[in-house]
Structure 1
Amino acid sequence: MTADRARREGEEGSVLLLTLGYVLLAVAVVFVCVCATDLYIAQKRLDALADAAALAGADGFTLQVSGEDVRAELTDAGVREQASALMDALPGDAALASAGTPDGVSARVTLTTTWNPPLLSLFVPEGVELASTATSRTALE
């Protein structure tokens, strides 16, 4: 019996080490999941803000009348003015990278921002650049 007892005493604490290892792994996974979720939400917010800026930019049209035809025409300056007015009115750190019209009837706006992780983690990079481009069309019916 003393040999059996000596063998058991040598194995004491091995389950504790495994448990600690699994707990550390679980904490790391939770940190990465929280950071990934926050990154996803930040990108979706930037997408929604770009959509709103493009929609505001599409309101920067001028009416062109030629004969009986009336046409709404966008200019780069009009789109940029409307999009930057919206960006100035809303809180946040997103920057207007570009705003213009590729064809005279569509407003295309690109916004950028930098995402920083909410939790300090060795597995997640800090300062990820996010960008979002949205297009909105204007039309008269």
Structure 2
Amino acid sequence: MLLLTLGYAILALVLVLICADATSLYLAQKRADAAADAAALAGADGFVLTVVGGQASTQLTDAGVYEQATELLAATGTATLVAASSPDGNSARVTVAMQWHPPVLTVFVPEGWTLHATATSRTVLR
């Protein structure tokens, strides 16, 4: 009976450690998503305003999106910029990466992963 109790205790401990690592991974991915969202929003502010015939319009460039996203990520230091572009001239698409390491090292969990997150933000002038 003691052997069975010890086995269940070890199994419970392993499950708790794996759940702690899984929670840490989930929160790290949410931080990467938030960094990508913020960088895309900042990138959407890198537009060039043009007025033609009394009509104002905005135009995003890859360089403007990249500059704004780089500036924001450098200020926050949360993630590394992988790519920043404007696929259609109105949207800013940003991809960031960050490294995750588990807080509790166990045999069943890898030493770490690189997490990627991509976000798109659109600039509209009304």
Q: TM-score under structure 1 normalisation?
A: 0.87
Aligned CA RMSD, in angstroms, stands at 0.8
Structure 2 residue identity aligned to 1:21? G
Structure 2: gaps of 5 or more residues: none
Of 62, 66, 77, the residue aligned with 2:52 is 66
Per-residue deviation, 1:59: 0.3
Asked if residue 121 in structure 1 is aligned to residue 106 in structure 2, the reply is yes
Aligned pairs (5 A) from 1:59-138: 59-92=45-78, 94-138=79-123
Structure 2 residue identity aligned to 1:137? R
Of 19, 22, 39, the residue aligned with 2:8 is 22
Higher RCO (CA < 8 A, seq sep 6+): 2
Q: TM-score under structure 2 normalisation?
A: 0.97
Residues 22-68 of structure 1: per-residue CA shift (max 9 Å, x gap): 11000000011000000000001110110000000000000122212
Give distance in 2, aligned partners of 1:137 and 1:91.
Answer: 24
Give the structure with higher Rg (CA): 1
DSSP-derived class of the 1:118 partner: coil
Per-residue deviation, 1:91: 3.0
Structure 1: gaps of 5 or more residues: 1-14
Give distance in 1, aligned partners of 2:32 and 2:114.
Answer: 11
Residues 118-139 of structure 1: per-residue CA shift (max 9 Å, x gap): 0011111112121000000001
Structure 1 residue identity aligned to 2:58? A
Structure 2 residue identity aligned to 1:121? T
2:33: which partner in 1? 47
Aligned length: 126
Structure 2 residue identity aligned to 1:20? L
1:140: which partner in 2? 125
